[in-house]
Structure 1
Amino acid sequence: MKKSRLFLTVCTLVFALLLSACGSNETGGDNGNGAQKKETFIFARGGDAVSLDPSEVTDSESENVSQSILETLVTFAEGETKVEPLLAKEWKESEDGLTYTFKLREGVKFHDGTDFNAEAVVYNFERWMEPQDKERFYMYGAVFGGFKGDEGHAIKSVEAVDDYTVKFTLNNVQPTFLKGLALTPFSISSPAAIEKYGEDYGSNPVGTGPFTFKEWRRNDRVVLNKNKDYWLDGYPKVDQVIFRTIPENSARLNALLSGEVDMVDGLDPVNIPQVEKNPDLQILRRPSLNLGYLGFNVTREPFDNKLVRQALNHAVDKEKMIDAFFGGQADPAKNPIPPSVEGYNDDIEAYPYDLEKAKALLEEAGYGDGFEMELWAMPVARPYMPNANKVAEYLQSSFAEIGVKAKIVSYEWATYLDKVKQGEADSFLLGWTGTNGDADDFIYTLWHEDNIGSMNSTFYANEELNGILEEARSISDQEKRSELYKRAQEIMHEDPPIIPLVHSTPVLAARSDIKGFDPHPTGRVITTKIAFE
């Protein structure tokens, strides 16, 4: 009798738990055919965010979360870098290219219930352009040529003409102005939330996007809930989005295979066939718009000598490296911009793999017996480099062939970025995924002297290059701009601050029933239209 009662009790408890599971947020309700519709989308990535205020970061891990919470005035079309409306429904450019007037969407609310309007837009831009915040909002300075009071600052004023009209007046023509506004760092935050949270706003973001911020467990997950009052009818399609941090590529793939997550970034190329053969999974490929490179701090010996940097360029067999660690999902790089960007200089001849030439250059530079150096490796998988540790080991063995002893160093992702920016590394693996498809976004952002201490982690300062990049920013004639960028690439080839390594084809893996995801060339993770079939 006791055994029967115990068995009945256990069965009742199990049945109750099953009922509870069926009604959970992650499974949702019946989809009409008896199966349970999934309502939580879980995206796994290699590193955690640094801040959820995109205006104060440059890393894509932070931006990819922010894109679900906050929105920009304009955005990029699916699969390309053509500018389309978002929070601004339309705009007009003056004939002289110095005035842009935007009509904003009406009735849009921030997640805290306050109104999105012209005053909110003005508040955000005035916050970013203040000169005392140059270090914090360096992306603003990089994109718009400085801050208020700076000679090269592109924006003269931002005015609220009425509640839903904003006018930008420029100091000079900026051909990439609209594309600049589409970048995630210029997402519009709730002024009330910024005032409320102050320095902690980066951990409490409030925007107008399809999802609202719920919680952030550092180095574990960021949880976002559906914005039930989202201005775009019928969206978002799921109730919750979770960004999981799983550092190891293999562990992320295992989490996908077990059903623990729904999509993974940073898939090792060797695992692509395994995913393609699995009927429950799919491969998503982003068009290549990136560069993976080894940067040199040109202020540190011996990297202040361009002959040393040239020698190390000759010491790397990029084809062999790509075969070993990229599984055919990359092309060797010879320039600081990818071939898909207008103004790419294909006439430049790549540094040939030539160990004897490398040794001769070291001898000429006074380092015939070699030298010791540190080679910093990213601790996370990036779209342009799925396995930085393996690449670092390959470079280490390559440099050893010419008598250069490289010690591999790494740190936690946020610390790595900060230390590299502060100039603490001899050399470092990094990369860049194009944010707007323009050469300016690569060369000016990463190698103009004004960006030293922020995006220019090589501390490269070349007066001729600076002048060319500034001129290219001041004209709208694309043919002339392209010629200037071709000259810029020639300068950087002869006086290289980096070893351009690869232009990769970033690959993601996901459940086969996921629809509505755009594998955008800029590396964005837009969750608005994601749904489960």
Structure 2
Amino acid sequence: MNTTRPPLFAALPVTCVLTFALLSPAAQAQKKGGTLSIGMEAEFSGFNPAKAKIFNQNTITPASSVMETLFVFEGKQIVPRLGLSFAQGDDRLSATVKLRPGVKFHDGTPFDADAVVAHYAWLLAPETGINLSVIAPVKTVEKVDEMTVRFVLKQPWAALQSALASEHLVNFILSPTALKNDPEGFHRKPVGTGPFVFKEWQAGDRIVMERNPDYWDPKLPYLDRLIYRVLPDGNTRYQSIKSGQVDIGRMDTANHVLDAKKDPKLKVHEYQGSGAISWNFNASKEPFNDPRVRAAVVHSFNTKAMLDTFFLGTTVATTDLLGPNSEWFCPKLNWRGYDLAKARALVADVGKPIRFQLVSTNTPAGRRQAGMVQQFVKEVGMEADIRLVEQSQNVRVGLSGDYQMDVWRFSDIVGEPDVALAYYFGGENGAPVSRHDSSKVDAILRKARAETDKAKRKAMYCEVAQIVSDEAYQMIPIRVTYYAIASPKVKNVPPMLNSVIRTRSVWLEQ
């Protein structure tokens, strides 16, 4: 069944998505206690993967506090969580994971091999209806002993551990008891092994969690309580941080970041990852079933104008998919960019009027950004109508295919990029978001999965990146630099991928 996939990390299409950089490494004595209030950009999508279908950043943030994965990325390193070790089989068609002993879910269910096998068996069942692109090469998961499982693969796959470390909805291990007993209730009240226990969700307002007193790491968490506040308006969110009503939050305009940098009562956390602002073209619909139209839009996009006037110098242009801070950066790509002459020539070659609808988020930043794109394409002879949707709904617009061009975000990537490249641009396990012909990409990624030489795999990934640009599958002109604004009392905020606030080791100076 060829169904459209959700974006890899449930990418909310914000214009200046925010995350966090390392604080000063100077030694500080962590303090226990206190409540951390976190300003969120949109409503949460719910926590039963089969019902939610997608975990956006606003959902992954609280999900990562209550549920855990086998492994996780800290910076660029994969570190243990519920899994202690990873060993690939000699035939490269399986891998064994040793599990952390002595862990229990919040409802008292033991975390063991049976729980992990039950989790992935449920996910892999066809009737679940969950998109499995992130773990598509996994055939089954078997119990070896009480605390060991084996992942059996359909083909050799170098990216398996990277995939398992991805905080995607399929990798958060759920309590099999809670899910079986009340799947509807689980959607509103998740049960995991994490450092915080879910308490309540007031729709449109907040999620509340409290410290897990039985967490397997006795040193953590430091905080007693978490409150995730739904504050979609960026000005309201910023003023809430300035006034102390919220301790930390993300902004969607550069003005807030620049203003906060001048305020001694605020701390700005900054991190440039490999993510990027992007726009999807729906290649299954006119006019974007014509690659000349897609390329014309890309060449019409005045990156410098948007960087100077919208982002105010707070981020940079892209030259490839991943960026120079990624070990998978491809510096020699012939990356499509601003070129009015090429854009006008392509429009002339099409030889008929080009008009399309651009979907953007109904926020001040989203409206302004859409207006700039509208002017860019008009300059080369195309017309764009703007359709505004609520930010929390824009991802679902993309999933349904109810768009011609839609603002999006290419996810931050660490570890093997096969996971994201297959998810966004491959089609073996569901139509890519942009609904393009993925045969070229699929063929290269199949070879890369079987390749043991890392340098050769990188060359193949760069080949995929070049195809993305050549075929103009998406418009990816601007690198995301992540920002968060916080009270200085918020300590130990790590460098976060994909704007997700992970609270496991955050503490408050009170």
Same fold per superposition (TM over 0.5)? yes
State the shift of 1:167 in Å.
2.1
Deviations for 1:364-409, whole angstroms, at most 9, x for unmatched residues?
1123xx322110113469xxxxx33322111011111122221111
The one-letter code matched in structure 2 to 1:441 is V
Give % identity: 27
Report the equivalent of 1:291.
276
User: Is residue 159 of structure 1 aligned with residue 142 of structure 2?
Assistant: yes
Report the equivalent of 2:3.
none
Contact map agreement 1:112 1:193 (CA 8 A) in 2: yes
Report the equivalent of 2:133.
142
Which structure 2 residues correspond to residues 4-403 of structure 1 after superposition, within 5 A? 39-53=34-48, 56-77=53-74, 80-133=75-128, 136-138=129-131, 141-145=132-136, 154-184=137-167, 185=169, 186-367=171-352, 370-379=353-362, 387-403=365-381
Report the equivalent of 1:21.
none
Question: Which runs of at least 4 in structure 1 moved beyond 6 Å after TM superposition?
Answer: none
CA distance in 1, matches of 2:133, 2:272: 25
State the shift of 1:452 in Å.
4.4
Q: Are residues 127 and 413 of structure 1, via their aligned partners in 2, closer, same or farther at CA, if it must alter by over 3 Å?
A: farther
Q: Are residues 354 and 166 of structure 1, via their aligned partners in 2, closer, same or farther at CA, if it must alter by over 3 Å?
A: closer
Report the equivalent of 1:12.
none
State the shift of 1:122 in Å.
0.4
Report the equivalent of 2:25.
none
Unaligned runs of 5+ in 1: 1-35, 146-153, 382-386
* SS of equivalent to 1:339: coil
Q: TM-score, normalised by structure 1?
A: 0.84
Deviations for 1:18-73, whole angstroms, at most 9, x for unmatched residues?
xxxxxxxxxxxxxxxxxx99711011021121122357324211111100000111
Report the equivalent of 1:431.
409
Contact map agreement 2:276 2:318 (CA 8 A) in 1: yes
Q: Aligned to 2:461, which of 461, 479, 485?
A: 485
The one-letter code matched in structure 2 to 1:174 is W
Q: Are residues 498 and 157 of structure 1, via their aligned partners in 2, closer, same or farther at CA, if it must alter by over 3 Å?
A: closer
Q: TM-score, normalised by structure 2?
A: 0.88
Which structure 2 residues correspond to residues 415-494 of structure 1 after superposition, within 5 A? 415-453=393-431, 456-494=432-470
CA distance in 1, matches of 2:244, 2:327: 41
Report the equivalent of 1:495.
471
State the shift of 1:352 in Å.
4.4
Deviations for 1:100-152, whole angstroms, at most 9, x for unmatched residues?
2222222211111111111000000001111233xx421xx21222xxxxxxx
User: Is residue 517 of structure 1 aligned with residue 500 of structure 2?
Assistant: no
CA distance in 2, matches of 1:379, 1:166: 46
CA distance in 1, matches of 2:151, 2:259: 51
The one-letter code matched in structure 1 to 2:506 is I
CA distance in 1, matches of 2:193, 2:120: 16
Structure showing greater radius of gyration is 1
CA distance in 2, matches of 1:43, 1:61: 11
CA distance in 2, matches of 1:287, 1:259: 27
Q: Are residues 452 and 422 of structure 1, via their aligned partners in 2, closer, same or farther at CA, if it must alter by over 3 Å?
A: farther
State the shift of 1:414 in Å.
4.2
CA distance in 2, matches of 1:406, 1:215: 43
Deviations for 1:339-376, whole angstroms, at most 9, x for unmatched residues?
33344332233434332331221111123xx3221101
**RMSD of the TM alignment (CA)?**
2.1
Unaligned runs of 5+ in 2: 1-30
CA distance in 2, matches of 1:108, 1:352: 51
Deviations for 1:199-222, whole angstroms, at most 9, x for unmatched residues?
442212100001111111222111
Contact map agreement 1:263 1:510 (CA 8 A) in 2: yes
Contact map agreement 1:45 1:266 (CA 8 A) in 2: no
CA distance in 1, matches of 2:152, 2:315: 42
The one-letter code matched in structure 1 to 2:351 is G
CA distance in 2, matches of 1:438, 1:329: 28
Contact map agreement 1:221 1:242 (CA 8 A) in 2: yes
Q: Aligned to 2:483, which of 483, 507, 518?
A: 507
CA distance in 1, matches of 2:151, 2:32: 45
* SS of equivalent to 1:402: coil
Greater length-normalized contact order (CA 8 Å, ≥ 6 residues apart) = 2
Deviations for 1:177-205, whole angstroms, at most 9, x for unmatched residues?
11111122201110010011124422121
CA distance in 2, matches of 1:267, 1:464: 35
- Tell me the matched-pair count: 475
CA distance in 2, matches of 1:289, 1:159: 34
CA distance in 1, matches of 2:442, 2:159: 17
Contact map agreement 1:343 1:483 (CA 8 A) in 2: no
Contact map agreement 2:426 2:439 (CA 8 A) in 1: no
* SS of equivalent to 1:284: strand
* SS of equivalent to 1:449: coil
